[in-house]
Structure 1
């Protein structure tokens, strides 16, 4: 028996991928409806029927980014055997994404709502929440390293997590600014080279 109802005239996943890349390149406020419909190859009525609103579409695009192109951080923290290896894999894996000429440069989570008008603060906060979760996940990985004996119990895991997250987000901005990938890799070399110093307990800290 033939299915009832009018079939969807476009591939929703393909359309969402197109929207993701536009938001990633132009930012939330810089993206016009015509940019979206052109990239998604649909008309405005289909866009609103399928996704509800520009903000809802953006939030779905962010989730798609996090589960596909932007998954290097979560994968590194989950798969690498040591915290040091996880941090290094996180930084190096993201550089490959940030500098990929086949996609917009930098990180969508960092760049897509860097500046928002008051009426769009919810969008900016949505991405800020994603960045805070990345820091929390990095901190959890370091805490696991403490529990497994890789790091000393006195290690200031929050400060170490903050440091490497700041490096990660800075690399995204530099990639968008056109900094050559060799320089990005040099920054990672230096950041990873500081690992032993950063995780060493402060001798002046009281027990």
Structure 2
């Protein structure tokens, strides 16, 4: 029985994540969540407490299921330059998939109103900082293996990459041509020496 409940919880969490991803936090109503997750009001409150708690759980789920898989494309590749291109390639494939939500759940859900909540603001900042640290680690390894120049400013380059990715994720919501993103990314990475 425990495995069935765990599966149903994961399935419900994934449905909520996709709904928040598509509509954003503010535009997702409790009614939307109950319908999409196929649960009753009482079960929702017993399992998640409130909409904000569920949203925080979906952010964790997104980090585990989406961000980690994208990061693994880079981390598991023995060549940084090839790995970062694989990461971007996967992002662009998602942009071309009309059934998948566009952009990044974290970025799509951020609004000025939402960031007034200290807990959510702290979470978002921590996730972005962790993303930068991940890139710093990958860049440092590429410098140590002499794949990248030793003069590379690793923290600054990691910040620039994260900012670029978040910008591309945000613009993907406007249905820009993925071909343009690919061309821009090639120029961007070349300019960074990557």
TM range (shorter): 0.7 to 0.9
Matches within 5 A, 1:1-207: 11-117=8-114, 120-196=117-193
**Higher helix fraction: Structure 1 or Structure 2?**
2
Provide TM-score, normalisation by structure 2.
Answer: 0.87
- Show CA shifts across 1:138-189 (max 9, x none): 0111111122222233221112112211211111111111112122212212
Contact 1:22 1:36 in 2 (8 A): yes
- Per the TM alignment, residue 119 of structure 1 is displaced from its structure 2 partner at its CA by 5.1
User: Residues of 2 paired with 1:44 and 1:129: CA distance?
Assistant: 31
Q: How many residues align?
A: 191
Instruction: State the structure with more CA Rg.
Output: 1
User: Residues of 2 paired with 1:38 and 1:163: CA distance?
Assistant: 40
**Corresponding residue SS for 1:189:** helix
Residue 204 of structure 1 corresponds to: none
Contact 2:114 2:120 in 1 (8 A): no
- Per the TM alignment, residue 127 of structure 1 is displaced from its structure 2 partner at its CA by 2.1
**Corresponding residue SS for 1:71:** helix
Contact 1:95 1:171 in 2 (8 A): no
**Corresponding residue SS for 2:129:** helix
Provide TM-score, normalisation by structure 1.
Answer: 0.82
